[in-house]
Amino acid sequence: MSKEALKGFQEAQVDQTYRNQARNIWTHVHNARKDYGASLRWPFELFQNALDAGPRADKSCVDISVCHFDSVLKFEHDGAPFSYKDLAALLSGGSNKELESVATTGRFGTGYLVTHVLSERVHLSGLLQVENGLEKFELNLDRGGDENAILRNMQLCGASIAEAISIPEIKDVRSAIFEYYIDDTAPITTGITS
């Protein structure tokens, strides 16, 4: 294969990978939003992701809170900060768990996409472990629209990571705050009851 052909192929392969991720996200979110079972599962998926992260190095447990006010459901925890792999899994709709792992049940895989039964739009503030400490990032996940809209949002979220800021002290800072913008409270009630 010539260098030109190889370069063209590699660019097309990267583009196709991102499109496949966007299509996967669209499919799982679309299915969750019309599946009653997703309303039962969303709390468990959020708890599982927080617990799979494990506690921070200086703690023995993970504190979790869920509250609903006005048109927002907020889920937050003080578990271990996000890793690069966590963010990649979250944005791609994949999982960063080892295949057939018995230690974890999955972090930000397709199970997380079930939480979009609450809303297609989620604001996430989180702590990211970087080489020299921790940085705070903010993402606006929007899994509404078609494949192209989701792809554009994935790109915007990637650019948002570049705006993360260094955090010298995290004692009172939550590791993750997910804010779901709610238009239908039925999935909240169903999930909390379950």
* pLDDT tens for each residue of 26-54: 999 999 999 889 999 999 999 999 998 89
Q: What is the CATH number of the domain that holds 151?
A: 3.30.565
Point out the least confidently predicted range of 67-76, 88-97, 100-109: 100-109
Query: Using only C-alpha atoms, what is the Rg of the chain?
Result: 17
**Minimal CA–CA distance to 158: which of 21, 64, 7?**
21
Tally of structural domains, the chain: 1
CA distance 171 to 90: 25
What is this structure's pTM?
0.89
Task: Name the pLDDT band for 100 (thresholds 50, 70, 90).
Answer: low
Domain extent, residue 18, equals 3-193
Arithmetic mean of pLDDT, 117-140:
96
- pLDDT, position 99: 45
* pLDDT tens for each residue of 152-173: 999 999 999 999 999 998 888 9
